[in-house]
Amino acid sequence: MPTKQNQHTIQCVAFVTRDIVQRIGQYAYDPRQHPKLTGLQSNPQIDAPLLLAWFKTRKPTRFNNPVEMETGISSGAVALAAADLGMRSGFCVCVENRIKLWHKRDRKLLKSIGYEPGDICLLMGVGYGQKDVAHNQTDWKTFHTYPKHDFEPVIV
C-alpha cells in the first residue's frame, strides 16, 4: 500500500464472517441523520460478503497527517479492482465511533485485533450487487441516504 515517507498510518482489515460484518455494520450511521438511533442498524453500503475496514495505526502529528490521503488512495484502488471484477462497492465513513454506544462484545472484537471504535477511518462493503434492490435498501428497511444519480459514461 502506498505511504507518505514510508510511514504506515493505516491498516486495512478484511472481515468475511457474516456475524462480524453485521455486528460492525450496526454502527455504520451518522447520528446527525439518525438522532434517535442507538446503533442497531444495517447499512446497505457495507452489508456485503466482504467488509473492509481501514484503521488508523498511529496518531498523526500536526505536520504529518496522511491518514485520509492514504485511506483514499488505498480504498480507491480496491474499488477499481472490485469494479474490474464485476463487483460493486459501498463506502461508509459515518461510523458511529463513540465507544459508549458500542456493545461490550463488539468493542472486545476490535480490541482483539488491536483497535478501538475510534480508530476506524473507513468501511467498505464489496460484493456482487443485487440489481433489483435499491442502493439504500436492506433486508428489513430503507436506510436514509442521498438519492442515487445515474450518470452518463464519459468516453475517452
The model's confidence at residue 97, banded by pLDDT at 50, 70 and 90, is: low
> What is the rounded distance in angstroms from the CA atom of residue 131 to the CA atom of residue 111?
36
Amino acid identity of 114? G
Q: Which CATH superfamily is domain 10-127 in?
A: NADH Oxidase (3.40.109.10)
Task: Write out pLDDT tens, residues 104-120.
Answer: 888 899 899 999 888 88
Q: Which long-range contacts (CB under 8 A, 24 or more apart) does 79-84 make?
A: 79/124, 82/126
Query: What's 99's DSSP letter?
Result: G
Task: Find out whether 120 and 53 touch, Cβ atoms under 8 Å.
Answer: yes
Within 8 A by CB and 6+ apart from 96, the residues are: 27, 28, 29, 30, 31, 39
Instruction: List the alpha helices (DSSP H) in the chain.
Output: 18-25, 67-84, 104-112
Question: Domain ranges in the chain?
Answer: 10-127
> What is the rounded distance in angstroms from the CA atom of residue 94 to the CA atom of residue 44?
13
Tell me, what's the pLDDT at 126? 93
Q: How far is CA 65 from the centre of its chain?
A: 20
- Grid coordinates given for 25: 455494520
Task: Write out pLDDT tens, residues 3-31.
Answer: 666 667 888 999 999 888 888 887 777 66
Strands 50-56, 10-15: pairing is antiparallel
